[in-house]
A and B are shown apart, each in its own frame.
Chain A
Amino acid sequence: MPEFYYAHPLLMAVLRGLAVLLVMFPIAAACSMAERKVSAWIQRRPGPNRTILPIFEGVPGFTFLQRLGLFQLAADGLKFLFKEEPLPHHVNRLYFTLAPAIAMVPAFTTITVVPFGAYLDSQGGIVPLVLANVDVGILAVFAVASLGVYSLILAGWASNSKYPFLGGVRASAQLISYELSMTLSVLPIFLWVNAPGMPGTLGFSRVVEFQSGYSGWGGAWFVFTMPLSALIFLVALFAETNRQPFDMPESESDLVGGFHTEYGAFKWSLFFVAEYANMIVGSAVFTLLFLGGWNPLPWLPLVRLIHGLHHVTHWAFWLYPATSGVLSVLIFLGKIVAALFFFMWVRWTVPRFRYDQVMKLGWQKLLPLSIANLIAYAIAIYFMQG
């Protein structure tokens, strides 16, 4: 192991935090391009495919990147940086400017407690890769993520015009309605994971560890053992991230642009980076809780994959901590990308709900369902572990 691995803990923490941000930002930005491309493909269009730097024109590999819209992404980003920042005269300047910044904070804070991979140490134990491996895991995510709605409310209120205001009001109502069922839907998992006699935890690492068995209940991902929880969580996730069919705060067709009607240029793009960052964290949490985290397949945990590869090829290289670390991160990222694709896929499949339908679904359907689900699993778990 290189020496810097054991550098000052504070320096290490800063470096690791920067590394995660350096991965998060490009993914969040690439999401905006992926969104446009997926939208285009579903509508049988090619999507943005013409922008290219003149010096790269005609170079074979770059033609492919051009058709993927990679340079369009750069052009969009630069445009947002350099175009004029409009500040309507009727807004509350302080809060109007503060709102986009506040949107970024919870989006990038929640990622600290989300493990994004694991490596095998020399003793063969699994060590999760996470910025802060705290026991409050899921609680921290729920607590901080729900602060995200403040930016929407603030933006809607500070804009001082009717459509942004309605957007902000809808955002807060929607968040409250779906937060409950979301939290209740994941409780069975933690009831199961925290079996009597075990050290109790609400962290994600233990949940993934629980899904890393070889056979029987242990190896099954929670999406198979708790499909209803997974469904409720997924629907609530769509509502919490304000994605279609739940994009009430934005809903272009009835609220112009919703909470960001008065925004433009870089402030507007901050809202969108925050939305995509929220989607990434949401997908990560869903993957960790229900899709087995960094395990490649159900009943095929990471450890078995690595030992299997080592067994077949006899390369010591597979047993290095770095190899398993990179492999697990790649598997995890693959699942997140698949989940993000699902977000975009659903966007062009399901039309937007009416506001009363959103409320009805949240309070009259999902909430009783998640409570019933919790009670049923609590009884089942009592008899299984009792």
Chain B
Amino acid sequence: MPIVTPRFVDQAWRRGCDFVTLDLEDSVPQNRKDHARTLVKESIPKITRAGTYAFVRINHELMQADTEAAVWPGLSRIKYPKTETADEVRALDAVITRMEKARGIPAGTVEIDCGIETALGVTNVYDIASASPRIKEFGATNGGYDMSRDLGVEMFVPYDQFVYLRGESELAARALGLGVRASPFVANTSGSVSDGNRALRQAEAARACGFRVGGGGLNPAVVESHNVGYTPSEADVRDAHWVLEQYERLAASGEPWMEVERRVIDRYEAQRARGTLAWAELCAERNREKTEAVARVQAQMAAQQ
């Protein structure tokens, strides 16, 4: 969200988001960049008061000034758009390290999230992903506006126009053992950023492919879609229990695989099922954590009135 719009920032804690990105980049006009920087310190506690993580997206060409303004206690992550080389990442890492020290933040707290949005970034993607231990998640969710502009490709088409560049990003993330951010192709020909139904389909497709990390959205209307779409459904959980029951039978038989109701049961299916159950637990825990935090803040506000 644009950090220069106070009503967005003030209300953000109520939205049920896992994270909020305070934007210094594309949603802030050039003549307000200096002002925007002064708002980060006071905005972070507003975001995090009820369990939401605070990220800041900096401007690529204003990396140093933006990062110095952004690294405050409570910040989880710097989003670095249009990353193109490993050297840039190392330079950002150095600024963060310096600011963490200056502001009494434990070293290594602030993560780096690189946006790959240009052809050069794709070419250097493995070096970029391995340039800093602060990079914990990596990958490509969608091509994005900037990538489309850089490559001159159309954005809203009914087929996957970014197979190669998304593959490059994702393979690098997987090879380095990072959290993989990816989104399976779901046609988006409208370009709407507030279409909750489309966001839900996209998140569900990602969940079905085993992904757990969303790329975020641009409108509060999609938050619930993301939260629901990335959470295993009751049917998923039932199915996982069924797979594990079948797998116990398989293990007793000594066969490498078997077919039950036209489905293959083997150790890979069992592993997926265990993963689904563990993820369902984590989602439930996170929901509890956020609900409790919101209730706590509301109680505090009521007490103050």
A and B from one complex: no
